[in-house]
Structure 1
Amino acid sequence: MALTPEESPGFLLWHATLRWQRGIAAALAPLDLTHPQFVLLAGLWWLDQQGGRPNQLELAQYTGTEVKTASQVLRRLEAKEFLTRQVDATDTRMKRLAITASGVAVAVRAVAVVEQADAEFFAAAPDRAAVLDVLRPLAWPR
């Protein structure tokens, strides 16, 4: 039995995702950050808060970002002086990441604007807890 687009979870998820991404991009634009830049910078900030100094691969895995994309985006963030990449002392093939003071400042502001954009977007959902219950197993299947 063929579903109409309005009955297709994948089609609806696709359109919801596009609308959500546009909102996030608009929220981050005044901070001169793209969504991938935000994800990696916020991830680095969070790991830094936990006492971690991840390498590029660890940060990419933590954020769910493709490794090659992460490397390119991290170069841009380094050029903006939001982080430093330093060769690991024990494995010269690895680069350890450290967030700078300006990176922390931007990350904190960016997290706040993204949380606000999320709140506005998900306000259309009648039950936030139910939305989270649906999204968690989709994001991290067991």
Structure 2
Amino acid sequence: MSDDKPDWERISAFSEPKLSPGFTLWRDFMRWQRELNARLRPLDLTQPQFAVLAVCAWLSREGKKVTQQEMVDFLGMDRMHISQIATRLERSELIERRMASTDLRAKHVQVTEKGRTLLEKAMPIVEEFDRAFFS
């Protein structure tokens, strides 16, 4: 009978997952996101939704028209993931998306009044949580 176990000493520089910086980062990120999601749940927001809403508001703070692609570039997230989140935010009337007049492939994204009101409630929750989590 053959041994189906990986030869860990040969394939990994680490004797256990906790010693791997990548694993540790992933585990800590998942804990941060899970705990932040719990705090945002009463507002019916997830951490990724908050990030998209906040970045949209931030990038358009001086009246600039922001495209969905600019948000993708800023956040460093997958374009399809941003599109799915934006669709959910649009259904909740937190953002509006319109086709750009100069490039029909581009969509301008704008935070609605309802989105701004929600962001004003969510931002202090997120910042307070971040201070506590990272202290």
Matches within 5 A, 1:95-110: 95-110=107-122
Cα offset for 1:112? 1.2
- Name structure 2 gaps, 5 residues minimum: 1-12
Cα offset for 1:63? 1.5
Cα offset for 1:40? 0.5
| Rg (Cα) greater in structure | 2
Cα offset for 1:50? 3.3
- One of 28, 45, 61 as aligned partner of 1:49: 61
Matches within 5 A, 1:80-99: 80-99=92-111
In the alignment, which residue of structure 1 is the partner of 2:8?
none
In the alignment, which residue of structure 2 is the partner of 1:15?
27
In the alignment, which residue of structure 1 is the partner of 2:9?
none
Letter in 2 for 1:42: A
- Superposition TM-score, scaled by structure 1 size: 0.79
Residues matched between the structures, number: 123
> Structure 2: how far apart are the matches of 1:66 and 1:104?
24
Query: Cα RMSD between the aligned structures?
Result: 1.5
- Superposition TM-score, scaled by structure 2 size: 0.83
Cα offset for 1:2? 3.7
Could you tell me the percent identity over the aligned residues?
Answer: 39
Q: Secondary structure at the match of 1:93?
A: coil
Show CA shifts across 1:2-52 (max 9, x none): 444343322222221121111111111111011111110000011121332
